[in-house]
Each structure stands twice: as C-alpha cells, then as structure tokens.
C-alpha cells in the first residue's frame, strides 16, 4: 500500500506513517532528560566510594555538603556502589541425604511463665535435616553447654532416631568459639561418631535453612498463642511441628515428612551408650544443706552434711547422689535466684539439730556443803606486823576505833 493509502485508512498524518516505517520499534513519546542536581556532585560521590566502598549515604551527604532530598542521594549512591564493591556471589548448596543437620537457637520473647508473674525468654533449640527439610525443635532452660547437648540428644534420639554425619552450628559459646569446640561438645561428638562444624562469623548463608525455619516459627507458630508453662510451650510446639513438616517446600516440591525416612536411613545409628549431657558437678555439702545449680538453690538430705555429693541436672530434673545413693530429687526450676526446698529435708534437719544439741549439752554440777574455817583477827595482825603499831599508838582512841 502507498503511504497515502495507509494514512487514509488509519486516519493519521502521512509524516506519522513515514516515521513509523523508518523506525525499528513502535513510536513513543520521550521527554528530554532535564538532568539532576546530583550530576554536578557525582564525581565527588564516585571518589568517596572508590576510597571507601561501604561508606553510608548519610556520611557521603555530609562530606559533599548535600542539603537537598536524602532519598535522591541514597538512590544515586545505591546505583553507583556496585561499581566499587567487589561482587560476593553465593552458590546454591546441594545436600546429600543423611549428611547435614543444621542447628541454631530461636528466642520467642518473654512469653513463657516460669514463676508467679515471671515471664522468661528461654531459647528454643531448632534443628533442620538439610536434605529433607525436616524441622525439629525443643524449648530448653538455658543456652549453657549441658542444656544444648541434652536438647540435641533428645531431638536426635527421640525424634530423628539417627545421627547425621555433620552438625552445623554458628559460633554459639556453649558449643565453642573461634572454631574451638568445648570439651563436653567434643566428647558428645565423639560418642555419637559425628562432627560438629562451626560456621564463620557473619556467614548466615552457611546455615540458611535453619535461619528460614526460625523465621517460619516467628510468623507461623507464635501469632495468637499463649503459654502456661515451659511444658505447655513444648506441648504446643510438638503438636504444631507435624503440620509444619507436612507442607510442600518450594525448593524440593516435596513434603519434608515424606523425605525424612530416606534421610534418616542414610545416617548412622544411635550409639549404644548415651552421651554425657546436662550439668554434672561434685561439691561438699555444707551445714546449709543446699546446692546451687545454675542460679537456684536445691535442698539436700542433711544427713550427708560434710560429705561429697554429685549433682546432675538434665532438662527437667535435678538429682543429687552421695556414694551412689540418691539424697535429693527436684523438678528443675526455670527461674533464677529461687530456693527449692523439700519438706522432708527440713524435718530431718530439725531432728539432727536436736540430737546434736542434746549430745553437747553439759549437765550442771551438784552443790556441795563444805566447812570454811574462820581466821582470828590476830592472825592478820601478826601477818602484817600490826603489833608494833599497837605499841606505837598505845592509848590512841582513833586507832582503836579504826580496828573495831
């Protein structure tokens, strides 16, 4: 068709048809760029970023004397910063069945009652089997080494039923710092026949699956829930986890509950002997007949005062033994600065105190009647040579009156 015919059929000008035919793309209106006030100071911004690529936009604004809109400056700095910061790509990790279980701590906030009008923020030990995405979690009293190991052993033995090749942790002080594991953590790994790997500082990509799981707890488990005690928290968490593990994961397209069997089958078996977990210590029982465990005092049978007692605290119970005999059993208190007393221990202490006082009480000696001789006054006169003075003051009435 001719240009004139096209213009007549479309109802446009012939010059418009000529421009459209000469262009490689449909015509559009473009306004001429008027530029920005930042164009004049962009060389200074580039110089500052070249010297310090991580310099914040607020500091750059101060250095260049920028007094206009800060959002415009932040947008330009965000556009220029990648030109000076070396890229740090993160590869996607491919997991093998039975290889890795990632571990971390999640703090739900002060929502767990541990006493009368006392709310605590104990940690939740979270573990995720990397290949299957299976989530395990347990509320524990503290983040000390003994409680961390006890929580891991309970989840591995009761929930997973197997031991992975590697347990991945961050730099949690109860596990180790600067990639130096604590002595109990090394013993725990040796008994299980596994390896505990600690990620580098500020490297969350190493355990990204557990970080996403912690965020999932925050957004899907916590909203609208209230708790009566730590046991109630664990009960609600245990009831919610099967639902969480039955959802389809986007990376795999499979439910974690459907893959955990294959994942656990590729792991090692549980050790025949349980590892040493919890807190264990030996102290000499004093007259106060109380032992201190993680900030709380627990009473002990006072009949073993002065002897060495072995204190063992797991996640739920504090047990005290002496020469293999149990002398105290208490439910563990999740609060601090509390005194937990067994009434039987107080009664025993009262009986022992009375027996001790009766044994050391001295009876009064009976009074004896004895005859005491009376000396004559002349004996004292002879002793002190008062006879010579009598001769000297003979007839002196004052002296006689004094003698009387």
Residue 120 CA from chain centroid, whole number: 11
Query: How many Å is the Cα radius of gyration of the chain?
Result: 44
pLDDT of 96 reads 93
pLDDT of 74 reads 94
Measured CA to CA, the distance from residue 185 to residue 72 in angstroms comes to: 52
pLDDT of 385 reads 63
pLDDT of 374 reads 66
Q: Which residues in the chain come in under a pLDDT of 50?
A: 388-389, 392-396, 398-399, 402-403
pLDDT of 383 reads 67
pLDDT of 342 reads 96
Q: b/e string for 317-349 if b means 16 or more Cβ within 10 A?
A: ebbbbbeeeebbebebbbeeeeebeeeebeebb
pLDDT of 387 reads 53
Q: Write down the residue that tokens 């047990």 correspond to.
A: 319
Query: What is the end-to-end Cα distance of the chain in Å, rounded?
Result: 170
Q: What is the pLDDT of residues 353-397, one digit of tens each?
A: 999 888 877 665 565 655 556 667 677 667 666 554 455 444 445
pLDDT of 270 reads 96
Instruction: Answer for the pair 105, 126: CB distance below 8 angstroms, yes or no.
Output: yes
Q: Cite the DSSP H helix spans in 155-246.
A: 183-192, 208-216, 230-244
Six token digits for residue 238: 């245990």
pLDDT of 283 reads 95
Nearest to 39 by CA among 85, 80, 82: 80
Residue 381 CA from chain centroid, whole number: 92
């Amino acid at each position: 068709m001719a240009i004139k015919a096209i213009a007549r059929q479309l109802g446009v000008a012939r010059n418009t048809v000529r421009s459209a035919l000469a262009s490689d793309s449909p015509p559009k209106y473009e306004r001429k760029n008027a530029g920005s006030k930042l164009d004049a100071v962009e060389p200074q911004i580039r110089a500052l970023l070249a010297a310090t690529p991580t310099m914040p936009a607020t500091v750059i604004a101060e250095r260049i004397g920028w007094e206009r809109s800060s959002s415009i400056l932040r947008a330009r700095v965000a556009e220029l910063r990648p030109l000076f910061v070396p890229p740090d790509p993160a590869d996607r990790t491919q997991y093998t069945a039975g290889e890795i279980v990632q571990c971390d701590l999640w703090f739900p906030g002060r929502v767990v009652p541990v006493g009368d009008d006392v709310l605590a923020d104990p940690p939740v030990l979270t573990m995720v089997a990397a290949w299957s995405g299976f989530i395990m979690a347990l509320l524990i009293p503290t983040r000390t080494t003994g409680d961390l190991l006890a929580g891991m052993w309970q989840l591995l033995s009761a929930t997973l039923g197997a031991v992975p090749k590697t347990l991945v942790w961050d730099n949690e002080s109860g596990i180790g710092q600067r990639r130096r594991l604590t002595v109990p953590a090394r013993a725990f790994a040796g008994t299980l026949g596994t390896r505990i790997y600690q990620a580098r500082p500020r490297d969350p990509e190493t355990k990204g699956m557990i970080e996403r799981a912690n965020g999932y707890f925050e957004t899907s488990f916590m909203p609208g829930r209230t708790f009566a005690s730590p046991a109630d928290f664990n009960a609600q968490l245990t009831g919610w986890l099967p639902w969480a593990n039955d959802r389809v994961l986007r990376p795999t397209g499979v439910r974690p509950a459907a893959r955990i069997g294959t994942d656990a089958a590729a792991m090692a078996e549980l050790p025949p002997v349980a590892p040493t977990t919890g807190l264990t210590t030996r102290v000499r029982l004093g007259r106060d007949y109380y032992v201190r465990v993680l900030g709380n005092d627990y009473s002990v049978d006072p009949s073993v005062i002065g002897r060495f007692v072995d204190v063992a605290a797991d996640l739920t119970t504090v047990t005290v033994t002496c020469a293999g005999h149990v002398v105290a059993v208490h439910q563990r208190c999740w609060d601090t600065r509390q005194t937990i007393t067994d009434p039987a221990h107080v009664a025993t202490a009262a009986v022992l105190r009375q027996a001790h006082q009766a044994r050391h009480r001295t009876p009064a000696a009976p009074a004896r009647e004895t005859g005491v001789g009376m000396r004559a006054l002349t004996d004292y006169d002879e002793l002190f040579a008062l006879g010579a003075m009598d001769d000297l003051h003979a007839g002196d009435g004052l002296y006689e009156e004094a003698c009387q």
